Amino acid sequence: MKQNYFLKTTSKLLILSLIFIQGINAQTYINEIYMQSSTTNQYIEFRGTPSSTIANGTYLVYLRSFASGAGRPAHVFDLSGYTFGSNGYLVLLQAGTPYVPNASATTITATGTAWGNLDSGTDDNMSDSSYSVLLITAPSAPVYNTDYDSNNDGNLEGVATNWTILDAIAYSNHTYEIGDFNSIYGGKAYFINSSGPGPTNSSGGTITNVPVVNAKYLARIGVSTGETSSDWLVGTTTGIIPSMSMHTTNVSPSIYGNETINTLGSENLDLTLGIEDVPLSNLKLYPNPTRDVFNIEFNSPTASEVSIYNINGQQVMKEYITDLKKQANINVSALTRGIYFVKIKDMNTRKEKSLKLVKY
- Per-residue pLDDT at 265: 95
Residues 6+ apart with CB under 8 A from 250: 211, 212, 213, 235, 236
Could you tell me which residue, 352 or 6, shows the higher pLDDT? 352
Q: Does the predicted TM-score (pTM) go above 0.75? A: no
User: Across the chain, how many H-helices and E-strands are there?
Assistant: 1, 23
Rounded Cα distance, 142 and 88, in Å? 26
Q: pLDDT, tens digit, for every residue of 26-37?
A: 589 999 999 999
Give the up-direction half-sphere exposure of residue 283: CA atoms within 13 A in the CB hemisphere.
23
Residues 6+ apart with CB under 8 A from 318: 305, 306, 307, 308
Q: pLDDT, tens digit, for every residue of 214-272?
A: 999 999 998 888 888 889 999 999 999 988 999 999 999 988 998 889 899 998 988 76
Residues 6+ apart with CB under 8 A from 114: 39, 40, 42, 94, 95, 124, 125
Q: pLDDT, tens digit, for every residue of 127-147?
A: 888 899 999 999 999 999 999
Q: Which helix (H) or strand (E) holds 167?
A: strand 164-172
Domain 284-359 CATH superfamily: Immunoglobulins (2.60.40.10)
Q: Is the pLDDT of residue 25 over 60?
A: no
Q: pLDDT, tens digit, for every residue of 265-296?
A: 998 988 765 434 334 556 888 999 999 999 99
Going by C-alpha positions, the residue among 132, 130, 141 that lies closest to residue 163 is 141
In the chain, where the domains are located: 27-269, 284-359
